[in-house]
Amino acid sequence: MKPILTPENLQRLEEKIAKDPKAYEKQVIFLALLGYGFVFGVAVLLFLFTILIFFVIGHFHLFIFIKFLLIYFVFIWLVLKSMWVKFSEPQGIIIKQAQAQKLFELIEEVRKYAESPIVHEVIINEDFNCAIVQYPRLGIFGYYKNILILGLPLLESLTQAEFKAVLAHEMGHLSAKHGIFSSFIYHVRVTWEQIYHNLSQNKALVNLLILEFANWFVPYFDLHSLALIREQENAADQLAAKITNPEISAKALIKIVLLQNDFQLKLTKFIQDQIIIHPKPPDNMAFAYRNIIGNKHDANEIVKTIEENFKQHGLFDTHPALLERLKHILPNKNWLDLNSVVTELLDISQDSVKAVDLLQKNSMLNIWSFIIKLKKLRFIINVWKS
């Protein structure tokens, strides 16, 4: 059988989404419900068959009836067990409005412009990232908690204007309830992974029927949901460009790709060097962070990074390729003229007004202290594992 999840099929579906995103989203939801409906239908048929066995031969062969009844209850238990999906709440240090008045004012400004629901909690961690998570407090039953996750290295890297563009991108996801949809997709995927794992342990005929359906359904659903998730990223990019301006949004996107790759490589090298020199975890992680982020990038380095990421796109990536995203933001710009792009980015580490300045200075010490302790703990674990 030919593979379903292919670049050609993804491109075909992305073109279909562009014509009518709402209709396509309904199609993905219907597809997910179809999967659940098939399992429910098999459960109903198995129950009716068990009842039929009772009326036909149950009076004479009670043992056979009990056997079918046990098969039915085991099947139901395995299915219900598979549908229980645990969602992990994001971890980090919680920031209150009193600790970062300017930050919360900016969040509220962007939130209102994007017509997004309120943000219930803001946390800061040590990742080079910014994300909105709609955490389902009641699991499959919802009751979502909107959590804004800010990586301190990212705040150290971006200007306030660039951070506003990144924040607007995340608020675009929140406004369109992409987080709720992502939680739904996650639940469907994990459910089917668990169904496959649990039912494959028992070779009963009804289990084999479900597994055969799963072999078709899972890749088919992955294909259709992945195409939609990528389109949601482009839609969030468009809103970010509208709230700030396209040039700042594009620059922030390139800057994150450049600094994120650079940050991870240099941080890893720093830790490896420290292992050789010092037997204990370093106390100067904050200095290392700022030193890495503050390094100036020359033109050749920027060109090399952009070239590597322009069209780089894994089949299972939830984000479109960098070039595709940039073309959506600034369709009239010649993105293949890298020299022109680099000229605009040569001042990438010269900006003075950083997004991190939105945090009050007295709260920064506590935040860095927390992150250093967290890094040291993970450092010890990684060294122990190696």
Given a cut of 60, whether residue 336 has pLDDT beyond it is: yes
Rounded Cα–Cα distance for residues 128 and 256 (Å): 9
Between these two residues, 319 and 276, which has the higher pLDDT value? 319
Strands (E), the chain: 93-95, 121-125, 130-136, 144-151
C-alpha triplet 294, 355, 357: angle, nearest 5°: 95
Q: Residues 316-329: pLDDT tens digits? A: 677 888 888 888 88
Structural domain of 352: 1-386
Range with the poorest average pLDDT among 97-101, 198-202, 244-248, 281-285: 281-285
Tell me the average pLDDT of the chain: 76
Which two structure tokens, joined as six digits, stand for 265? 């490589």
Q: Which two tokens stand for residue 196?
A: 């496959």
In percent, how much of the chain has pLDDT > 70? 71
Spatial separation of the C-alpha atoms in residues 241 and 287, rounded to whole Å? 33
Across the range 354-370, mean pLDDT stands at: 56
Q: 122 and 95 in contact (C-beta within 8 Å)?
A: yes
Mean pLDDT in residue range 111-120: 88
Dig out the tokens for 314 from the structure: 């894994």
Residue 148 has pLDDT above 90, yes or no: yes
Higher pLDDT, 44 or 359: 44
Predicted local confidence at residue 18, as pLDDT: 80
Q: Which residue has the higher pLDDT, 366 or 169?
A: 169
Look at the chain and report how many structural domains it folds into: 1
- pLDDT for 386 equals 45
> Is residue 383 pLDDT above 60, yes or no?
no
Whole-model pTM: value is 0.77
**pLDDT, tens digit, 9 for 90 and up, residues 30-56:** 998 998 888 888 888 878 877 777 777
Q: What is the pLDDT of residues 166-195, one digit of tens each?
A: 999 998 888 877 777 777 887 788 888 888
Which one is predicted more confidently, 81 or 315?
A: 81
Q: In 21-162, where do the E strands start and end? A: 93-95, 121-125, 130-136, 144-151
**Long-range contact set of residues 196-204: C-beta below 8 Å, sequence gap at least 24:** 197/82, 198/78, 198/81, 198/82, 199/78, 199/82, 202/74, 202/78, 204/71, 204/74, 204/75
Of 259, 234, 195, nearest in space to 325 by CA: 234
Q: Is the pLDDT of residue 257 over 70?
A: yes
Task: Give the angle 288-289-290 at the CA atoms, nearest 5°.
Answer: 95
End-to-end CA distance of the chain: 41
Evaluate whether 258 touches 306 at the Cβ level (below 8 Å).
Answer: yes
Q: What is the mean pLDDT of the segment spanning 307-335?
A: 76
Residue 317's contacts (CB-CB under 8 Å, 6 or more residues apart) are 230
What's the distance, CA 217 to chain centroid? 22
Cα distance between residue 112 and residue 7, in whole Å = 37
Q: Does the pLDDT of residue 299 top 80, yes or no?
A: no
| pLDDT at residue 221 is higher than 70 | yes
| Residue 373: predicted pLDDT | 54
Does 349 have pLDDT greater than 60? no
